[in-house]
Amino acid sequence: MKVIHSISQMSICSRKIKANGQSIGFVPTMGALHQGHLSLIKKAKRDCDVVVISIFVNPTQFGPQEDFKKYPRSFANDKKLAQKAGIDFLFAPAAEEIYPSNYCTYIKVKNLDERLCGAFRPGHFQGVATIVHKLLNIVQPNIAYFGQKDFQQAVIIKTMVRNLNIPVKIRVLPTVREKDGLAMSSRNRYLNEREKKDASILFQTLQLAKEMVEKGEKNSAKVISGMKKILGRVPDAKIDYVSIVNPENLEDVRLIDKKILVALAVWIGKVRLIDNMLIDEKPETRMTNGE
């Protein structure tokens, strides 16, 4: 595995790979690699000739009161994991090269970036869209891989790619979970043992939503209220949002009559966790009168 820190060196390598007729699979990360990242890498290795991952804790996607400074950084361990996973190139640029002091260009994906997490983390998705666009330009992958846990991020990136005609395919892969259902996330490292147990309430809440919808509940407000009741079992859980939205435009859904995304952001103590589930509404009962 080759570790690259400079933007120009990464671009030169990518151009050479492409000129050789090989395809590039790209997994952008902020490091603190876990099984979720490894599942994306595995798929990239299956699909593409060469796999590149980036490790860059992107300052522009953190708000002033957020955890940029204490975000887990474990480069030496990440390097070992990446090597073991069979990565070809690890791109880890310096913040000063990505955002020089005169940097002033940002990408905004309107409306989508204001819903769900966007309402609680102003500017977050502008930071995400900007860095992903920059990384796609530098790495020039054929396919880039993202996890479903960050569903809104994936919708925003797909929209940006479509709107700006960026020549890359975006693949979104299922959330990888702990045995108790907790979605894998680098931020799980902040949780102590008790909080980790409490955090499984997010998945239980999503499962309740799935059961209710599959049993035929069509009223979103009722599903959301059932979910909030379950979350209430954990005294330390503080809800940012519990929402039922259209998975394409992330607009609130009142009547569940097609596929929905149930999404939530909940603080467990001082740690903000997000999770979501795609749920199909109850299939129409078929007529069985022989017609």
| Residues lying near ligand PAF in the complex (CB under 6 A) | 28-30, 58, 61, 128, 131-132, 150, 153
Sequence-ordered alpha helix ranges (H) in 64-219? 75-84, 95-98, 117-120, 124-139, 151-163, 193-199, 201-214
Q: Which is nearer to ligand PAF, 148 or 153 (CB)?
A: 153
Burial of 55 (0-12, 13-18, 19+ CB in 10 A): buried
Q: Is 101 helix (H, G, I), strand (E, B) or coil?
A: coil
What CA–CA distance (Å, rounded) separates 167 from 231?
42
- Residue type at position 273: L
Helix (H) or strand (E) holding 144: strand 143-147
Locate tokens 């940097």: which residue?
103
Q: Which is nearer to ligand PAF, 62 or 203 (CB)?
A: 62
Q: How many CA atoms lie within 13 A of 237 on its CB side?
A: 25
Q: Which is nearer to ligand PAF, 61 or 276 (CB)?
A: 61
| Smallest separation (angstroms) from ligand PAF to the CB of 111 | 19
| Smallest separation (angstroms) from ligand PAF to the CB of 7 | 15
Q: Which is nearer to ligand PAF, 31 or 230 (CB)?
A: 31
| Smallest separation (angstroms) from ligand PAF to the CB of 60 | 9
Strand order from edge to edge, sheet including 50-55: 2-4, 89-91, 50-55, 24-29, 143-147, 169-173
Which of the residues are catalytic? 37
Q: Which is nearer to ligand PAF, 66 or 211 (CB)?
A: 66
| Smallest separation (angstroms) from ligand PAF to the CB of 61 | 6
Sequence-ordered alpha helix ranges (H) in 164-265? 193-199, 201-214, 220-231
Q: Is the distance from CB of 125 to CB of 153 less than 8 angstroms?
A: yes
Write out the two tokens for 204. 């239980």
| Smallest separation (angstroms) from ligand PAF to the CB of 201 | 23
End-to-end CA distance of the chain: 62
Supply the DSSP symbol for 177. B
Chain-centroid distance, C-alpha 222 = 27
Indicate if the alpha-carbon torsion angle 108, 72, 238, 202 is positive or negative: positive
Q: Which is nearer to ligand PAF, 140 or 220 (CB)?
A: 140
| Smallest separation (angstroms) from ligand PAF to the CB of 57 | 8
